[in-house]
Every structure is written in structure tokens, then in C-alpha cells.
Amino acid sequence: MSPVLDTAFIPPRDREEVVRNAVWKSMVAVDIDHRPAAEDISVRIGLGAVGPIRICSARATAVTIRRTERLAREDEEPAVTLGIQMTGSSVVVQNGRECLLRPGESAVYESIAPYTHLFDEGVDYRFIRFPRAALGLPDRLLRDITAVTLGSDNPIARLAFTYFSQLAVTDELHQGVHADAVVAPSVELLRAVLTSQHGNSNLARGPLAATLGLRITQYIRTHLADPDLSAARIAAVHGISVRHLYAVLSRSGISLGDWIRTRRLAECRRELAEPNGRSRTIAAIGQSWGFVDATHFSKVFKQTYGLSPRAWRDQNHSHHFK
């Protein structure tokens, strides 16, 4: 993976901010404490994605990374990051545990809880971020396995180290049909590592029922723009009846129609406020998020936000004409 950010080409006074913005935008929001003075900070970051899996390959001078309680509370999409130690060493601290990582070892940490990652010797590392819902593992197992060294005593972890360290830097696997082909095996391999490390690989199957609601909402988020998204389709994809679908969501306090409509409206609101919000008609934006009837779209938008879609767009674009 070729670096897309190299502080050698960035003025020293801007390096901390540029690095922070790149990490926040591409991976996860964290506080970054660089040990050297600004003029001595050196960071080379390569960024990529394989479907919903995000990848960061980094080399840098000594740094401490902190996911604070405040940032953990603000997390929008819960994620699990697999950290892979290439050379040197680092320490991961989360959920009352800490582990030392040496070359060839890895560990996972969750975005929904605070963590600290210390790189006293500098960074030569791969960060691979998975949507938490995709793993389909129970909360307790994930809490128990964070900040635990995944190393030579686990043959599946050794296999995973080789696989993920190559996946992170192989550009051909980050696009097109190749990316589509490796998403599911990547998720399954990490699931196998974590469940085997926990002591019972059978746990990979049991959590599917426990995490059904989480997987359903994740599926809906991914397919919000699909015009044929329906209770029947969602139920069929997850191998359950429509009645069971409603029951599962009801236990989480979710009304399916309201939940979908709220998130579709939020996407329309975001698009209308963006700089290119005038490049398409309001009706077209509404239709692209499942609102087939333009009049109905305007009505529910105003009921939700107190402004019509047109007034909201004009309000956000008025400064362009002053």
C-alpha cells in the first residue's frame, strides 16, 4: 500500500493536525500524543478499505494513542480493531487489561470502550477496523478478549497474522471483485481467532442468535437506499419470518417503519446541506433514499425538522450567493 500521507511533505506546525484529521476520518476518533517535537514528527500512513473493513498501515515516530471515554461514547458505528505488530513493540490497554505486542503478534480493541495504545519505540503497525456487528460475537466475549496478546500459542492467530498483514498492503485486494471475495473470509477468520483464543470455537455459532437484532439493523443501514427494502426482504435475508423480525426489533424498542424513515430522512438532510446539494432536484434526492412520492417526502421532512427540504437547502447554501 503506497502512503497517502507523509509528514515529510507537511510543514512541522501542521503535522499533528493533518495526522489527526486523517486518522479520525479514515479509522476512528482518538487523541494522538506525539513524543517528538513537531519538527521531528515523522508519520507515513497508507489507507485502504475492503468493503466495510478499513485498513491503515502506519510507520511513525513514538506516539501514544488514546480513545477517551468521551470519544467512546460518541462512537457512531461500533467497531473492533485488529492491531498487527510488524516490528518493534507496543502496549495495548483496555477493559482493565494490558498486553505487550512483539513482532508477529496482534490484539483487538473495541471503539465503544476507552483504550490506550503506547508506541514507545515508534510505529510499524497495521490497523484493521471491522464493524462490530459484522463479527456477530456477544458483548461478553469481546470484552474478555480485548487487550489480549494473540500470538504464537494460537495457530489460528499465526495464520491470521500472515493473512491480514498481507491484506493490509495488497492494493489489488482493495477493489472490485477481489474485495468482494475477501470480505466474508476476513470476517470469518477474525471470528475464528477470537473464539479459539477465548477457548471454545463453537462460540462462533451461538452468538448469531444473540446478535440477530444488531445484524438486522446493520443490514438496514447498509441498504437504506434500496427502493425494495421491506420487512419481507429483511426477514428472508436473515432466515426468519416477518413476525419474528418484528418481535426481535420490538425487544430493542425499534419500530421498523419509523426506524427506516428516520435514517432515510437524515441522509436526505445531509445531502441537501452538502456543497453539491443543488446538483440534483429535491425530488430526486428524496427518491434516491426511498421516498417515491415527492409531496409525502416534503411533508414528513417538515414534520421532522420544522423546515421544508427546500428551505433547509436554501438555508445551508445562502452564503454561496452573498
Pairing of strands 53-60, 123-131: antiparallel
CB 19 within 8 A of CB 31: no
| Cell numbers describing residue 62 | 513514538
Pairwise CA distance, residues 200 & 303, whole Å: 50
Instruction: State the residue for C-alpha cell 483487538.
Output: 108
| Cell numbers describing residue 56 | 491503515
- The pLDDT value recorded for residue 322 is 41
Cβ-based neighbours of 236, under 8 Å, separated by 6 or more: none
The answer to whether the predicted template modeling score (pTM) of the entire model surpasses 0.75 is no
| Phi, psi of 213, rounded to the nearest 5 degrees | -60, -40
- The pLDDT value recorded for residue 149 is 94
Pairwise CA distance, residues 182 & 168, whole Å: 12
- The pLDDT value recorded for residue 95 is 93
> Cα torsion for 300, 306, 312, 318, to the nearest 10°?
160
CB 126 within 8 A of CB 83: yes
CB 126 within 8 A of CB 164: yes
- The pLDDT value recorded for residue 182 is 82
Rounded to the nearest angstrom, the gap between the alpha carbon of residue 198 and the centroid of all alpha carbons in its chain is 23
- The pLDDT value recorded for residue 109 is 94
Going by C-alpha positions, the residue among 185, 184, 180 that lies closest to residue 160 is 185
**Eight-class DSSP state of 322:** -
Pairwise CA distance, residues 250 & 247, whole Å: 5
Please give the helix or strand (H or E) that residue 43 lies within, else none.
strand 43-50
Side-by-side strand order, sheet with 31-34: 31-34, 63-67, 115-119, 90-94, 97-101
- The pLDDT value recorded for residue 159 is 85
- The pLDDT value recorded for residue 205 is 52
Pairwise CA distance, residues 243 & 223, whole Å: 20
| Sign for the pseudo-dihedral over CA of 213, 216, 222, 225 | negative
- The pLDDT value recorded for residue 210 is 57
- The pLDDT value recorded for residue 299 is 93
Instruction: State the residue for C-alpha cell 451461538.
Output: 206
Pairwise CA distance, residues 100 & 12, whole Å: 31
Per-residue confidence of the chain (322 residues) as pLDDT tens digits? 555 899 989 999 999 999 999 999 888 899 999 988 989 999 999 998 888 899 999 999 999 999 999 999 876 788 999 999 999 999 999 999 999 999 999 999 999 999 999 999 899 999 999 998 888 788 888 899 999 999 878 888 888 898 898 888 888 777 777 777 788 888 888 988 898 888 765 554 554 565 577 678 878 887 888 888 999 999 988 788 999 999 988 887 889 999 899 989 999 998 998 888 788 899 999 999 989 889 999 999 999 999 999 999 988 876 544 4
Q: What is the DSSP string of 98-125?
A: EEEE-TT-EEEEETTS-EEEEETT-EEE
- The pLDDT value recorded for residue 321 is 44
Per DSSP, the three-state class of 254 is coil
- The pLDDT value recorded for residue 125 is 95
